[in-house]
Structure 1
Amino acid sequence: MKTIIVIPARGGSKRLPNKNVLTLGNLPLIVHSILYAKANLHVVDAIYVTTDDVEIKKIALSYGVNVIDRPSNISGDFEPTVSAVKHVLQSIEDDIETVILLQPTNPLRPKTLLEDCFKVYKEKVYDSVFTVSQSHHKLGKIKNNVFKPFNYKPGQRSQDLEPLFFENGLIYITKATSILNNEIITNNGFPIKVEHVFSLVDIDTQNDLDYANYIYSSFNKIKS
């Protein structure tokens, strides 16, 4: 029974056209997730990129990973990610037990995060694990031009907020059987808390990409 990494990278994007091949640092965006996957080959058996885009396919093949051609009917703006991951499982002959999902729009990850998450997944026998981060914002809703606080009372200190968390998109690990049932996060999915600036990088707009490049260059300066 094998463990695979799946990187879903379609060509279409409305808010940031061709975002998966735009440059972060000196590399196309998708390459960051490919290199992270390859750095974890001691954990997984194979890496697959699923795409409907010729350029993305060419880049992925040049880095020596497998490519699954994604059909157009599951490549639209409103198609859930699980459809592409499920298609990968249905397209390969290997007996897959576990799928690790790396989204190319979350290109920066702590070095040992995948290995740490996989250890929790195996030791605790969860059907899925996924990464989350705590929100430290005072959140609210606007109705009829009136702001209604959601997670605080006016005047409350931010450090006294009730802890709320968001999916940061860095890593998802799921049993293949759950993927085939159209689930990435299962009912007993275990949230792994990540407090790292990389968890704030999620690229959907040009501003997001600019911020990612700032974070990326800052960490490279620290390394050098």
Structure 2
Amino acid sequence: MTWDGMKVLAVIPARGGSKGIPRKNLRQVGGISLIGWAAKCAHALSWIDAVVLSTDDEEMAAEGRAQGLEVPFLRPPEFATDVADAIGMWRHAWLESERAFGQRFDLSILLQPTTPLRNPADVERTLRALVEGGHRSATTVSPVPGHFTPEKTLRRDDRGRLSYYLAEGARHSNRQSIPDYCHRNGICYAVDRETLVDCGRIIADDCVGVMVEGFVVNIDEPIELELAEFMFERQRRAGSIEGE
């Protein structure tokens, strides 16, 4: 347990309300709930000292306990709305966990259930980048496809006419001339106590991105559940993942 003598808390957020997919965190991929997938990843990492579920919902809490998670508190309503920010939720979970377990956690990782097919090795790489690089926070990222970059993005005015989002977009006729962009993929966030608890930051001035190659499923819409099931079956046949 611990990482180089530092206590690590894993937080899995799972509020009860969700608009795109009702009761989303209880939905299953490969016979395992989204909460269960996040729990499975956390349990595979021996350096995590405590794994808690942050939820406002008793059914989510029951599923968390069934998956071996600690649920020492219920999330207050102000941290469970559609517009509640992740910083407040994570900070609340951190402080409540310290009260519940009677210990201080030096580092924390956030594992969102909506990215169920994550590889624990990517989570470990994220914490390693945070600690060994001396950064304040870290998060996994994926490359932005060339056709979704600002240079390829267009604006459409109220008459339907198109123009480049960036004025220099017309100069980028091939993807080789476009800078490398990345986006957060939801696999893992990692942060030290001072940055989140004291300063209320996640993407801080010194946040390192850990690149994850390959396709990452992040579930917000019903079709993405189907896509996750497809990717699970593909990985299962390849022998790289196991379901229920």
Alignment partner of 1:126 is 2:135: yes
Q: TM-score, normalised by structure 1?
A: 0.92
Q: For residues 8-157 of structure 1, what are the structure 2 equivalents within 5 Å?
A: 8-40=13-45, 42-67=46-71, 68-91=73-96, 92-93=98-99, 94-139=103-148, 140-144=153-157, 145-150=160-165, 152-153=169-170, 156-157=173-174
Is the 1:2–1:44 Cα contact (8 Å) retained in structure 2?
Answer: yes
Runs of 4+ in structure 1 off by over 6 angstroms are none
Aligned position for 1:212? 228
What is the CA–CA distance in structure 1 between the aligned matches of 2:112 and 2:65, rounded to whole Å?
A: 18
Q: TM-score, normalised by structure 2?
A: 0.85
Is the 1:138–1:149 Cα contact (8 Å) retained in structure 2?
Answer: no
Q: How many percent identity over aligned positions?
A: 27
- In the alignment, structure 1 segments of 5+ residues that lack a partner are none
**C-alpha deviations, 1:161-193, integer Å up to 9, x for none?**
221111111111001222122211211011111
Counterpart of 2:179 (choices 151, 162, 165) is 162
**Which amino acid in 1 is paired with 2:21?**
L
- In the alignment, structure 2 segments of 5+ residues that lack a partner are 1-5
CA RMSD of aligned residues (A): 1.7
Is the 1:43–1:115 Cα contact (8 Å) retained in structure 2?
Answer: no
**C-alpha deviations, 1:54-111, integer Å up to 9, x for none?**
1110011112221131011210000011111111122133211111011111111124
Is the 2:172–2:178 Cα contact (8 Å) retained in structure 1?
Answer: no
What is the CA–CA distance in structure 1 between the aligned matches of 2:143 and 2:104, rounded to whole Å?
A: 36
**How many residues get paired?**
221
**Which amino acid in 2 is paired with 1:104?**
P
**Which amino acid in 1 is paired with 2:54?**
T
Aligned position for 1:187? 205
How far has the Cα of 1:205 moved from its partner? 0.6
How far has the Cα of 1:142 moved from its partner? 2.3
What is the CA–CA distance in structure 1 between the aligned matches of 2:206 and 2:39, rounded to whole Å?
A: 28
**Which amino acid in 1 is paired with 2:91?**
K
Larger radius of gyration: 2
204-213 vs 90-99, greater mean Cα deviation: 90-99
Give the number of the structure whose residues are more often strand, by fraction.
1
SS state of the match for residue 47, structure 1?
strand
How far has the Cα of 1:133 moved from its partner? 1.1
Is the 2:107–2:191 Cα contact (8 Å) retained in structure 1?
Answer: yes
SS state of the match for residue 169, structure 1?
strand
